[in-house]
Amino acid sequence: MKIKNICCIGAGYVGGPTMAVIALKCPHINVTVVDANTKRIESWNGPLEKIPIYEPGLADVISEARGRNLFFSNDLKSAIEKSEMIFMAVNTPTKTEGEGEGMAADLRYIEACAKDIAKYSKSDKIVVEKSTVPIRTAEKIKEILEENSSNIHFEIISNPEFLAEGTAIQDLFKSDRVLIGGDETESGQKAVQALVDIYANWIPKEKILTTNVWSSELAKLASNSMLAQRISSVNSLSALCEKTGADIDELSKAIGMDHRIGPKFLKASVGFGGSCFQKDILNLVYLCKYYGLDEVAEYWHQVVKINDYQKDRFAQKIIDHFGGDLSGKTIAILGWAFKANTNDSRESASIMISETLLQCGAKLIVFDPQVSLKQILSDLKNYKSSFDSNIYDLNKKDLQSFDKKEFDCVAITTEWDEFKKLNFGELPLFDGRRIIAGNKITYKIGS
């Protein structure tokens, strides 16, 4: 089956970049990305410097494909109607209420998508799970599609996304692997092949892995959990380094040189952030509990617990430095994004660290090259903080004359390149991302 029209529901950090790259690499396919958020679609259609996602290389891809065979639209109905293949790239956050609250994935957006697809489809469709979902979600989607339509065949396949923010375009151009899971039926295998053919336009065949649906769904949760586990392992060892005089960077290097372990994802930090690691591990924990595997659930839960411990430990170092009271102290927080090269601050370590410092009486001045003060305040509000009057932002100009400002200390929470050049003079420096060389460092994770 040759696909000529693709629709993607969800124009976020995954839907936007993945569809832009598919459109770029497959000029013979029309790709329409739709979203319930009309403002987001407006900005995807607006000036390149204002597209809603900051991602190196993305604007170039958009510039080439947009209007040629890549379209951003609010017309969900017609995008569904005309497409043979529909991607679901909507958010699947942690549930905030009901059964599984605080752990299970909230599938309401997936369910809403399935209802819309059933409502507007007039011909057979291949439905692709691009969002990260709990194992056996495809079954649930199929049920919704069949309950809400008649005489239409829907084939559901799983194609989880492995891109990391900040390197999304290079990850999509040169993926380690593309995973596609489908039913072992004839129609299932045809649908899998249709998607393999799309990726084969730029991904070498040996990197396209096909499996059954359930392996594919679970492989995504497991991959994220294993990556996060490495960070928590290293972060837990950073605490031991501080007690013993070992250096966590030297330790990481020594461990990572064993090729069976490998050097990547062993960087000690203030804790991992981002919209996926924590939610996906908690989702895995919930699934294990659901299937009665309490020990397995507890094993994975510890990865999240160590992450919270690490964030708290960093904030506590600052508090201890000032004898337990931060009243009257002004702290510069450098970095709000959960990592460099993104404007995404979801679950950023900066949020919990800042809240702890604010609770201890500090005044914070926050700088991030891509995250606005409005977003910073909204993150704190969502974290149920009541301290927003003590937060100020430092604009780019001020950053140039940074050392002249009257701060009591500096905390680096995101590894932006621009922070590497700053000189903090005698200011106490808490370098949670281990980026500064040559400045006087009061505390870096592990030292």
Q: Which residues bind ligand UGA (CB under 6 A)?
A: 132, 161-165, 224, 227, 231, 265-267, 269, 272-274, 276-277, 338-339
Catalytic residue, chosen from 161, 217, 347, 415, is 161
**Residue 393 in the binding site for ligand NAD (CB under 6 A):** no
**Closest by CA position to 415, among listed 339, 344, 350:** 339
Which one of the spans 29-37, 190-198, 291-299, 321-329 is the region binding ligand NAD (CB under 6 A)?
A: 29-37
Tell the smallest beta-carbon distance from residue 433 to ligand UGA (Å): 7
Burial pattern 414-423, b for ≥16 Cβ within 10 A else e, equals bbbeebeebe
User: Distances in Å between the alpha carbon of 33 and those of 10, 53, 398?
Assistant: 7, 14, 39
Q: What are phi and psi of 184, to 5 degrees?
A: -80, 5
Which residue in 4, 37, 48, 388 binds ligand NAD (CB under 6 A)?
Answer: 37
* Distance, CA of 204 to CA of 209 (rounded, Å): 11
Residues in contact with 383: Cβ distance below 8 Å, sequence separation at least 6, in sequence order: 351, 352, 355
| Inter-residue long-range contacts of 321-325, CB under 8 Å, 24+ positions, other chains counted | 321/409, 321/428, 321/430, 321/442, 321/443, 322/408, 322/409, 324/360, 325/360, 325/361
| Catalytic hit among 125, 220, 279, 311 | 220
What whole-number distance in Å separates Cα of residue 42 and Cα of residue 46?
6
Residue 209 has φ and ψ, to the nearest 5°, of -105, 125
Q: Which is nearer to ligand NAD, 137 or 439 (CB)?
A: 137
User: Considering 8, 276, 288, 360, which one is annotated as catalytic?
Assistant: 276
CB of 407 to ligand UGA, least distance (A): 24
x/- contact string, 255-294, with ligand NAD (CB under 6 A)? --------------------xx------------------
Residue 131 or 175: the one with the smaller Cβ distance to ligand NAD is 131
Options 3, 7, 15, 350; binder of ligand NAD; rule CB under 6 A: 15
Residue 211 parent element (H or E)? strand 208-211
Is position 174 annotated as part of the catalytic site? Answer: no
What are the angstrom distances between the C-alpha of 276 and each of 79, 141, 225? Answer: 28, 21, 10
Contact 128, 86 (CB under 8 A): yes
Catalytic residue status for 409 = no
Q: Answer with the entry of ligand UGA, ligand NAD, none that 10 interacts with (C-beta below 5 to 8 A by kind).
A: ligand NAD
Tell the smallest beta-carbon distance from residue 339 to ligand UGA (Å): 4
According to CB under 6 A, which one of 32, 69, 83, 92 is a site residue for ligand NAD? 92
Output DSSP code: residue 105: B
Asked if 89 interacts with ligand NAD (CB under 6 A), we say yes
> Would you call 355 a catalytic residue per the annotation?
no
Q: Which residues are at the interface with ligand NAD (CB under 6 A)?
A: 9-15, 35-37, 40, 89-92, 109, 112-113, 131-132, 161, 163, 165, 275-276
**Residues forming the active site:** 161, 220, 276
